[in-house]
């Protein structure tokens, strides 16, 4: 009979008669496994300071690490200014926040490149607003209103009472911004309307900005040009998890859309989808029990012990008998939000910062996706944000290689901030192109450099980087960049945990 390490056996015997058997069993096995082998179980990742590590591969990496000589860059014959614009949705009374954002962007980037701005509002901009903005920017600027049929949610026009009740209910339940009708309108507008506005549609590229944002590093190259040069279609700066209560049915409707229109998602889909069919095995019973990485070792350990008990000569072995009885009484776990063996992991690109091709969204697949979501009413019945909608939509259409992480851009909006460490030996002296952007002694003092840094003249805020707060999201992105990543290279529903290999490892572990 299989001889189990004493620590493992004692743990099993101690909990064999406990009502919380399976919970404690999983904890005990994983703990002993880590203790004895001093290695990490596949898929069990402990928090690290992601911002201290290198993120990049042949699939994607910073276009430049450190500073670029901008004057030489602009004079290079291969450089071409792109048909691009900044886009901001704002209001007249947000002028102070808008000026704050524009001044930061001009100081750190646009004073050298002079890209135009598009400002949109649901009411006309005041002459004072226009005057102050024109005086602050170095490029052309355009102002326009958003058509009410583009701005208002259909139910708001056709069934205003139901619309109001849904918004009020979300507010009463404490959903973040759920009780704000204007926030719902904004999310829907950015999800599927902004890129159809004539002032945006005349451009090939856009960079979304918001009031009250800060840039912390100098961007000495042209992101639009580099995106085009490297065949990138969408760029992000922050990735976080969505609040589940705001999107409880978004993935269900997304999967329904995929089935209805027979969409085959691209490799980026795997950044946002948890594939529950993770085992390489023909054992369907085992497959149904293992839905997450954390289930692998406990269920395989249970399988090994039971099989050993059934083959053994001691029918009164308490450990094996206890395992067998408990499994016979246990019900197959139900994953509530699982559809076709997949579930939304709530990861999303924070769309307050986006640099992308306009036709990344303005195309038949994404337009059909938005219209489908609009018809089912999630933009008002729930609080679907444009960030998860964009992210899942991108997963339908793009591969990982199409995405660029602007890690070298220091950026903050609200409480979310990402700021890279400065690249070593690649810092150049700041030279303003606009006399309004001169920097005094203290503004010319920057953070120290770092081995894995990629920023240019960064001066970061004193708060924890979003890379470290959302380390699970960033770890997933980092893994998908690696060419050898099994899940990315495999099929959409292929298993990628080799059961035989994992069983062999556990059998060696349990034997003396």
In this prediction, residue 223 carries a pLDDT of 98
CB 222 within 8 A of CB 139: no
Q: pLDDT confidence of 495, banded at 50, 70, 90?
A: low
Whether 414 maps to a domain, the answer reads yes
| Mean pLDDT, residues 78-104 taken together | 98
Q: Percent of the chain at pLDDT above 90? A: 66
Q: How many domains does the chain have?
A: 1
Summarised one tens digit per residue, pLDDT across range 209-223 is: 999 999 999 999 999
Q: Does the structure show a pLDDT above 90 at 285?
A: no
Q: What is the mean pLDDT of residues 142-165?
A: 93
pLDDT at 487: 61
Between CA 232 and CA 395 the distance in angstroms is 14
State the pLDDT confidence band at 44, using cuts at 50, 70 and 90.
very low
C-alpha–C-alpha distance, residues 207 and 388, integer Å: 18
pTM of the predicted structure, to 2 decimals = 0.84
Mean of the per-residue pLDDT values of the chain: 87
Lowest-confidence pick of 40-49, 110-119, 384-393: 40-49
The end-to-end CA distance of the chain, in Å, is 12
What percentage of the chain exceeds 70 in pLDDT? 87
Distance CA 11, CA 31 (A): 10
pLDDT-derived band at 27 (thresholds 50, 70, 90) equals very low
| Paired residues of 413 in beta bridges | 213, 416
> Is 317 contained in some domain?
no
Give, for 89, the enclosing helix (H) or strand (E). Answer: strand 84-89
pLDDT at 324 over 90: no
pLDDT per position as a tens digit, 418-446: 999 999 988 999 999 999 999 988 888 99
**Would residue 354 show up in a list of annotated catalytic residues for this protein?**
yes
Say yes or no to pLDDT of 37 above 80.
Answer: no
Q: Which of 205, 191, 197, 210 is nearest to 122 (CA)?
A: 197
Q: 417 - beta bridge partners?
A: 412
pLDDT digits (tens, 9 = 90+) for 188-203: 999 999 999 999 999 9
CB 430 within 8 A of CB 476: no
Residue 34 forms part of a structural domain: no
pLDDT reported for residue 505: 85
From the number of C-beta atoms within 10 Å of its C-beta (0-12, 13-18, 19+), residue 227 rates as buried
Tell me which of 343 and 87 has the higher pLDDT: 87
Q: Domain residues for 161?
A: 40-291+333-512
How far lies 107's CA from each of 110, 211, 224, 389, in Å?
7, 16, 18, 32
216 part of a folded domain: yes
Give residue 485's pLDDT band: very low, low, confident or very high (50, 70, 90).
low
The answer to whether 382 and 211 are in contact (CB under 8 A) is no
- The CATH number given to whatever domain includes residue 498 is 3.90.550.10
Residue labelled with tokens 């959302």: 470
Asked whether residue 421 is domain-assigned, the answer is yes
pLDDT of 127 higher than 60? yes
Helix (H, G, I), strand (E, B) or coil at 365: helix
Cα 210 to Cα 187: distance, rounded to the nearest angstrom: 13
Position 21 in a domain: no
In a domain, 368, yes or no: yes
* Least confident span in 205-209, 214-218, 228-232, 327-331: 327-331
Q: What pLDDT is recorded for position 274?
A: 84
Whether residue 102 is predicted with pLDDT greater than 90 in this model: the reply is: yes
Six token digits for residue 196? 């159809």
Catalytic residue, candidates 354, 382, 467, 502: 354
Quick check: is 321 in a domain?
no
Q: Give 44's contacts (C-beta < 8 A, 6+ positions apart).
A: 30, 293, 294
Label the pairing between strands 84-89 and 117-121.
Answer: parallel
């Amino acid at each position: 009979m299989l001889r189990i390490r004493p620590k493992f056996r004692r743990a099993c015997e101690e909990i064999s008669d406990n009502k919380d058997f399976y919970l404690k069993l999983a904890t005990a096995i994983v703990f002993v496994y880590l203790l004895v082998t001093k290695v990490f179980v596949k898929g069990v990742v402990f928090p690290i300071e992601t911002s201290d590590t290198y993120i990049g591969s042949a699939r994607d990496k910073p276009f430049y690490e450190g500073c670029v000589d901008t004057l030489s860059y602009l004079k290079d014959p291969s450089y071409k200014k792109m048909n691009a614009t900044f886009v901001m949705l704002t209001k007249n009374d947000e002028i102070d926040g808008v000026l704050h954002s524009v001044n930061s962007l001009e100081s750190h980037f646009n004073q050298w490149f002079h890209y135009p701005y598009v400002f949109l509002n649901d009411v006309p901009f005041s002459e004072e607003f226009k005057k102050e903005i024109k005086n602050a920017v170095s490029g052309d600027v355009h102002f326009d209103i958003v058509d009410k049929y583009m701005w208002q949610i259909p139910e708001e026009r056709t069934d205003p009472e139901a619309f109001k009740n849904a918004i009020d209910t979300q507010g009463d339940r404490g959903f973040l911004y759920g009780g704000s009708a204007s926030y719902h309108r904004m999310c829907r507008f950015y999800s599927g309307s902004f890129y159809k506005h004539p002032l945006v549609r005349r451009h090939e590229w856009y960079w979304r900005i918001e009031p009250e944002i800060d840039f912390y590093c100098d961007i000495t190259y042209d992101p639009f040009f580099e995106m085009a040069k490297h065949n990138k279609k969408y760029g992000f700066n922050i990735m976080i998890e969505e609040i589940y209560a705001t999107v409880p049915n978004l993935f269900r409707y997304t999967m329904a859309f995929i089935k209805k229109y027979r969409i085959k998602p691209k490799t980026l889909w795997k950044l946002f989808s948890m594939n529950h069919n993770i085992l390489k095995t023909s054992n369907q019973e085992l497959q149904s029990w293992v839905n997450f990485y954390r289930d692998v070792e406990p269920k395989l350990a249970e399988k090994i012990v039971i099989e050993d008990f059934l083959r053994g000569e001691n029918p009164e072995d308490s450990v094996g008998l206890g395992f067998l009885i408990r499994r016979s009484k246990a019900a197959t776990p139900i994953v509530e939000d699982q559809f076709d063996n997949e579930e939304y992991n709530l990861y999303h690109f924070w769309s307050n910062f986006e640099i992308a091709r306009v036709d990344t969204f303005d195309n038949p697949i994404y337009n059909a996706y938005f219209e489908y979501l609009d018809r089912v009413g999630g933009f008002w019945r729930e609080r679907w944000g444009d960030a998860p909608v964009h992210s899942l939509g991108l997963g339908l259409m793009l591969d990982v290689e199409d995405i660029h992480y602007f890690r070298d851009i220091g950026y903050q909006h609200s409480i979310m901030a990402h700021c890279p460490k400065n690249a070593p030996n690649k810092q150049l002296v700041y030279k303003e192109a606009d006399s309004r952007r001169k920097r005094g002694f203290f503004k010319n003092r920057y953070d120290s450099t770092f081995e894995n840094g990629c920023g240019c003249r960064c001066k970061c805020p004193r708060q924890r980087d979003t890379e470290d707060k959302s380390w699970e999201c960033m770890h997933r992105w980092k893994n998908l960049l690696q060419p050898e990543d099994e899940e990315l290279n495999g099929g959409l529903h292929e298993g990628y945990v080799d059961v035989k290999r994992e069983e062999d490892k556990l059998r060696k572990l349990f034997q003396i």
